[in-house]
Amino acid sequence: MNILKTLAARLRFASVVSVLLPLALAPGANAQQLPSTPSDPLSLSPAFPAKTAPQAVTPTQRIQIKPTLTKAQLDQSLIAEAYHRNLKNVSTLLAQGADPNARDKAGTSALFYAVAAKDNLSVVKLLLDKGAHVNATDRHQNTVLGEAVDLKAGALVTLLLERGADVNVRSDSGATPLGIALVKDDLATMQLLAKHGADVNAPQQRGLTPLMIASARENPDAVRFLIGAGASVNPAVTKGLAAPLTIAIAEGRRPSVARTRVDAVIQTLLDYGAKVNTRDAQNATPLIVVTAMGDAARAKQLIDHGANVNAQDNLGRSALILAAGKGDTPLVNLLLTNGAAVNVRDKQGYTPLLWASQYSHTGIVQQLLQARAQVNTGSAHGFTPLMAASLKNSSVVAKMLIDHGANVNAADKDGFTPLMLASQSGSEFIVKLLLDKGADVTAKTKTGATALNYGASHGPILALLMPRIAAKTKPTAPAAPKPASLGGPFVPPAHPTMPSPPASVHLPAPAATAPTAPPIVPPAPGAPWVPLAPREPIPPTPPIPPHVETPRAPKAP
């Protein structure tokens, strides 16, 4: 009988989850990938192996108990009769000298088999009366009490407790009788065990506390009971786990979970003092988790309970950075209204405005500009919002940025300007807009390439650039594009990953080695935002150095 079913608790963050799960950029795609499904479920291995009827004796021998049986035959017959609920034969065998603590070859006792048979109270009581050890374990350290709890055999549980069964013994899998009752959703047995001294904070498998498990199972009754019995709502969180509040929030993103149950669990935890700014393994807070999930209602609930709107995770990502990158207008409004720092920067120097420009979220760009976002603040590599809009051929965003004072001649560390990027992307509107606003058509990259090199394959772009170049050179000969060796198409520097929903709080399966972080590659223009499959939480990955490729030769003007 499997004592612990698969626990539907996931956490990424997750780490967050999870808790939260950072994303890797898909090769060749200019989009951050957000996992849309929870991570692998936390699988708790069975605490008890499947039991079968003992094979030591045949059914015919079972009913022909004779004084001539050897000691070994008596013991094995006792195990068989105990399993088959034959009180008379069990009594006879004990009277003839069978050992009440006899075990089969697998190390399982007669008492264990008697309990496993269920509805076998008389035989269990007789064995205990004759000296069977109430705390005897099998080879997996499972106890008869745990077996009775697994079967939801209330009368057997009561009898074993009255006879002194240890309520806090832990099996090889890490489960205590209370943990078993919890995953069976057996509140009555949980209450009975707690009354007899069960530790409501005893870690179960992988260090999960009972309250963490109850939160993951969206069981508000169990959550209320455990807290009332003394369970800590803010337990110490070991590596790879998260607080009950974060776990409950992360579980709420699964479509199979009833919203009302999750709401009840979250509200109960908050009412009993759950720390609203608790951190998971990725240093993400519950607010970052719900923002990654796109849940404005829960975000407001957390803010109303004192959530720090400017908290940042290990990669420097705040809730506003995440909401801006996702294009989530309601969450951006909520966060800005509640004091979110509009010019916050992540570890790569990206601001919310740069993220929104990167993904052409026109409405978000407008919101951030109205909130006084700094239009010329670039990444650590010098990549500005206007560069992002120019590269993505986002005309509306580019015009908005320029109208708010964006520097049309800003250059990144490799010398790339918005005009070069707009020329490369073939955006006639943005090229003309930049030229009209004074963009320097002769600006060069570190390799000596100009906008003409990057617009060489676009006839309309050349038609816009050549007259401006001619106006800056001697009238005898217009400037020709640079040789191919002088520059290459712009490749954006490695961008930080967008925050992701924890696929639940991440409760990872045991691994022999630490997970390997997937590579982060520079995004390419134009790709949509596509969800990724769930992945293990990874540490921040250093940016990939930018590189320059050889440009194609321009067409003759």
Q: How many CB atoms lie under 10 A from the CB of residue 162? A: 11
Give the global pTM.
0.73
Identify the band that residue 84 occupies on the pLDDT scale cut at 50, 70 and 90: very high
* Segment 92-102, tens digit of pLDDT: 999 999 999 99
* Alpha carbon distances (Å) from 304 to 107, 115, 182, 284, 300: 56, 51, 31, 18, 6
Q: pLDDT of 399-431, one tens digit each?
A: 999 999 999 999 999 999 999 999 999 999 999
pLDDT higher for 471 or 290? 290
So what's the pLDDT on residue 473?
Answer: 66
Work out the percent of the chain whose per-residue pLDDT is above 70: 72
Count other Cβ atoms within 10 Å, centred on residue 470: 15
Q: How many helices (H) and strands (E) does the chain have?
A: 25, 0
Q: Which residue type occupies 6?
A: T
Please tell me the distance from the alpha carbon of residue 259 to that of residue 216, in angstroms, as a whole number.
13
Res. 327 pLDDT band, cuts 50 70 90: very high
Backbone angles phi and psi of 18, in degrees to 5: 165, -25
Backbone angles phi, psi at 368, to 5 degrees: -70, -40
The answer to whether the beta carbons of residues 29 and 60 sit under 8 Å apart is: no
- Burial category of 356 from C-beta neighbours within 10 Å (exposed 0-12, middle 13-18, buried 19 and up): buried
Query: What pLDDT is stored for residue 238 in this prediction?
Result: 80
The H or E element containing residue 168 is none
Nearest to 537 by CA among 20, 26, 9: 20
Q: What percent of the chain has pLDDT over 90?
A: 62
What are the residues whose beta carbons fall under 8 Å from the beta carbon of 457, sequence distance 6 or more?
426, 552, 554, 555
Which one has a higher pLDDT value, 474 or 436? 436
pLDDT at residue 395 greater than cutoff 70: yes
C-alpha torsion angle, residues 145, 146, 151, 152 (rounded to 10)? 70
Instruction: Find residue 15's DSSP bridge partners.
Output: 18, 20
Give the up-direction half-sphere exposure of residue 318: CA atoms within 13 A in the CB hemisphere: 26
Tens of pLDDT, residue by residue over 351-368, are 999 999 999 999 999 999
- In the chain, the amino acid numbered 69 is L
Least confident of 47-56, 131-140, 473-482: 47-56
Q: Across residues 203-230, what is the average pLDDT?
A: 94
pLDDT tens digits for 69-81? 788 999 999 999 9
- 250 vs 299, residue with greater confidence: 299
* Ordered domains of the chain (ranges, CATH): 200-275 (1.25.40.20)
